[in-house]
């Protein structure tokens, strides 16, 4: 199913797929946007010559190496309008990036954004990156995630960041094998670099000591950070009070991701002291897999109902349970709740909480996206949720009910939502055993002129070739609808 959406096999042994449409347009356009394509001989030469006036170049996962970097340098020296260069998932290695950096230093080059995620880099290329940072104030966004820079590389990089010439705005160092010994210089960067707005240090073994140290930098009047990502950084309840302090003294901090840290209910209570403070203007809060239980849900409910800046929250993979969900729903029903997007997958929910969820859907006007799949809602629960979704006051645009142990038995209810809610743009029912019977019911509902769905997401659902033909015909007859499977 869905073969029409998946591009054909490429010849690459790595079974990498080239999005054909994208590839074709990229040869015509001046801004190459290529992914997963082996760039050999004439194709590469053609691409390089098309880069003369490019503003952005994206060549992800294209098996690029040092020699390609040399060719890119010729572009830097002639193209003054080039702003963005994305080379993720290429084994450029240190030698390749050293060549690249030399090119970036040419006076005519004004690159603003450089993404080098997963390019097999080590600390050995950090001197070169450091000189680009200190000599090129145009460079404002640097992505170095998934490269083993290690402590020493991280320190060298910080020297560049500390240079007064450096005007970095966004820095990603996720999975760079940084350690607590990087905290000191990173703290200095926070203290001296008011241009820095986004810092992603996720997936480095920093630990509480380093987090506490970073928090002192974050509190500095010079620090204007808006986005802080510290997922899987060894944050425990011990440093949550420090993060809470930052939250209530820094209204600039609007996006905090601390998922995959096991600080538990005790840690959340401390974080909430900062989050609930009127000074805190948090907009996006990512708290997945933090070891939270129903015990955190009163705090979270208070947060949802009082923090009008909060628009996106993830609580996925926390064992909130039905009792916790009931508490959250109280907050969600408050008219002050402005939450637009809520992720609640894998929260240990069952059909028992669906009445509460349904009453939220029939009262809350702000919620636009609800991900509540990967919970054992079963047909009964899905039916109750659908009742809420059908209410006139419900403005949900995107509902994710995948992997909910649903069957064809609840598809009448889902169909009624699809055919009666023109605000609904996206529905995900993946990984449910809907079978032909269920899919046919959805299919009939989508035909309704009231249905304005853009994405009907049906991954990993099994149906017959007859139904497949019908779906294909439906997609063709309904412009704007994409059946993703």
Partner 1 sequence: GDEIRPAASYRQFVSRHVDQPKTNAPNNNAYCNRLMQSRGLTCKLTNTFIHNPLNEVKAICTHGGTRFRNNLFDSNRSFTLTVCRLVSRGRRRRCAYRGTSQTRRIRVACTNQMPVHFERIL
Q: Which residues bind partner 1 (CB under 8 A)?
A: 1-3, 5-7, 9, 14-17, 19, 35-36, 60-61, 89, 91, 117-118, 145-148, 175, 203, 257, 259-260, 286, 288, 314, 316, 345, 373-374, 400, 402-403, 428, 430-431, 435, 459-460, 462-468
Report in angstroms how near the CB of residue 114 gets to partner 1 at its nearest: 16
Q: For residues 16 and 219, which CB has a smaller minimum distance to partner 1 in the complex? A: 16
- Residues 6+ away with beta carbon under 8 Å from 309: 254, 280, 281, 282, 283, 338
Question: Closest distance between partner 1 and the C-beta of residue 107, in Å?
Answer: 32
Instruction: Report whether 427 contacts 454 (CB < 8 A).
Output: no
Cα–Cα distance measured from residue 428 to residue 456, given in angstroms and rounded to the nearest whole number: 6
Q: Which C-beta is closer to partner 1: that of 102 or that of 455?
A: 455
- In the complex with partner 1, the residue whose CB is nearer, 118 or 245, is 118
Handedness of CA 126, 128, 133, 138 (dihedral sign): negative
Helix pair angle (435-446, 411-420), 10° resolution: 10
Q: How many CB atoms lie within 10 A of CB 351?
A: 21
Helical (H) or strand (E) element with 256: strand 255-257
As a three-state string, the secondary structure of 117-163 is CCCCCEHHHHHHHHHHHHHCCCCCEEECCCCECHHHHHHHHHHHHHC
Minimum CB distance to partner 1, residue 359 (Å): 26
Question: Which of residues 416 and 484 has its CB atom nearest to partner 1 in the complex?
Answer: 484
Which residues 6+ apart lie within 8 Å of 418 measured at CB? Answer: 424, 427, 442, 445, 446, 448, 451, 453
Cα distance between residue 199 and residue 457, in whole Å: 33
Please state, in angstroms and rounded to a whole number, the distance separating the CA atoms of residues 433 and 404. 9
CB of 76 to partner 1, least distance (A): 25
The Cα 7–Cα 414 span in angstroms is: 30
Q: Which is nearer to partner 1, 305 or 485 (CB)?
A: 485
List Cβ neighbours of 465 (8 Å cut-off, separation of 6 or more): none
What distance lies between CA 359 and its chain's CA centroid?
29
Tokens 């690459």 found at: 12
Can you tell me the distance from the alpha carbon of 423 to that of 117, in angstroms, rounded to the nearest whole number? 37
User: Given the complex with partner 1, which of 235 and 327 has the nearer CB atom?
Assistant: 235
In the complex, minimum distance from the CB of residue 209 to partner 1, in angstroms, rounded to a whole number? 23
- Closest contact distance (angstroms) between CB of 436 and partner 1 is 8
Residue 248 or 455 having the CB closest to partner 1: 455
Shortest spacing between CB 389 and partner 1, in angstroms: 19
Q: Which is nearer to partner 1, 220 or 255 (by Cβ)?
A: 255
**Could you give the CA distance from residue 414 to residue 420 in angstroms, rounded to a whole number?**
10
Q: Do 228 and 259 meet the contact criterion of CB atoms below 8 Å apart?
A: no
Phi and psi torsions of 480, nearest 5°: 95, -20
Q: How far is the CB of 59 from partner 1 (least distance, A)?
A: 13
Question: Would you say 61 or 326 has its CB closer to partner 1?
Answer: 61
Instruction: Give the residue with the Cβ less far from partner 1, 121 or 271.
Output: 121
Q: How far is the CB of 126 from partner 1 (least distance, A)?
A: 16
Q: To the nearest whole angstrom, how small is the minimum distance from the Cβ of residue 14 to partner 1?
A: 6
């Amino acid at each position: 199913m869905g073969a029409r959406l998946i591009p054909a096999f490429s010849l690459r042994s790595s079974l990498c797929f080239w999005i054909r449409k994208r590839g074709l347009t990229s040869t015509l356009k001046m801004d190459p946007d290529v992914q997963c394509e082996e760039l050999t001989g004439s194709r590469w030469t053609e691409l390089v010559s098309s880069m003369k006036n490019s503003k952005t170049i994206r060549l992800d996962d294209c098996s690029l190496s040092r020699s390609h970097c040399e060719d890119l340098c010729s572009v830097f020296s002639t193209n003054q309008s080039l702003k963005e260069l994305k080379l993720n998932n290429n084994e450029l290695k240190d030698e390749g990036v050293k060549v690249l950096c030399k090119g970036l230093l040419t006076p005519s080059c004004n690159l603003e954004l450089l993404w080098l995620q997963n390019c097999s880099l080590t600390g050995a290329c950090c001197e070169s990156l450091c000189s680009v940072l200190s000599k090129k104030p145009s460079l404002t966004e640097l992505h170095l995630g998934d490269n083993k820079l290690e402590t020493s590389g991280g320190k060298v990089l910080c020297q560049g960041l500390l240079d007064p010439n450096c005007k970095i705005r966004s820095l990603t160092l996720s999975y760079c094998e940084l350690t607590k010994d990087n905290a000191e210089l990173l703290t200095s960067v926070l203290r001296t670099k008011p241009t820095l707005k986004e810092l992603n240090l996720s997936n480095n073994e920093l630990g509480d000591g380093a987090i506490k140290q970073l928090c002192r930098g974050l509190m500095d009047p010079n620090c204007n950070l808006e986005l802080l990502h510290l997922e899987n950084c060894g944050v425990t309840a011990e440093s949550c009070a420090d993060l809470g302090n930052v939250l209530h003294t820094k209204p600039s901090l609007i996006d905090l991701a601390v998922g995959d840290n096991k600080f538990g209910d005790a840690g959340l209570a401390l974080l909430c002291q900062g989050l609930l403070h009127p000074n805190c203007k948090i907009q996006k809060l990512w708290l997945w897999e933090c070891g939270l239980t129903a015990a955190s849900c009163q705090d979270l409910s208070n947060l949802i109902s009082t923090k009008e800046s909060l628009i996106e929250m993830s609580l996925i993979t926390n064992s909130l349970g039905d009792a916790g969900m009931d508490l959250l729903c109280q907050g969600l029903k408050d008219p002050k709740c402005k939450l637009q997007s809520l992720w609640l997958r894998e929260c240990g929910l069952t059909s028992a909480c669906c009445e509460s969820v349904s009453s939220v859907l029939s009262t809350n006007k702000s919620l636009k996206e609800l991900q509540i799949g990967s919970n054992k809602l079963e047909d009964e629960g899905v039916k109750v949720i659908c009742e809420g979704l059908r209410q006139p006051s419900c403005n949900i645009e995107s509902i994710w009910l995948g992997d909910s142990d649903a069957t064809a038995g609840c598809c009448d209810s889902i169909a009624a939502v699809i055919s009666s809610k023109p605000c609904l743009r996206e529905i995900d029912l993946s990984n449910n055993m809907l079978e032909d019977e269920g899919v046919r019911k959805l299919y009939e509902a989508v035909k309704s002129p009231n249905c304005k769905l853009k994405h009907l997401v049906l991954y990993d659902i099994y149906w017959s070739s007859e139904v497949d033909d019908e779906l294909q015909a439906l997609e063709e007859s309904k412009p704007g609808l994409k059946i993703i499977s």
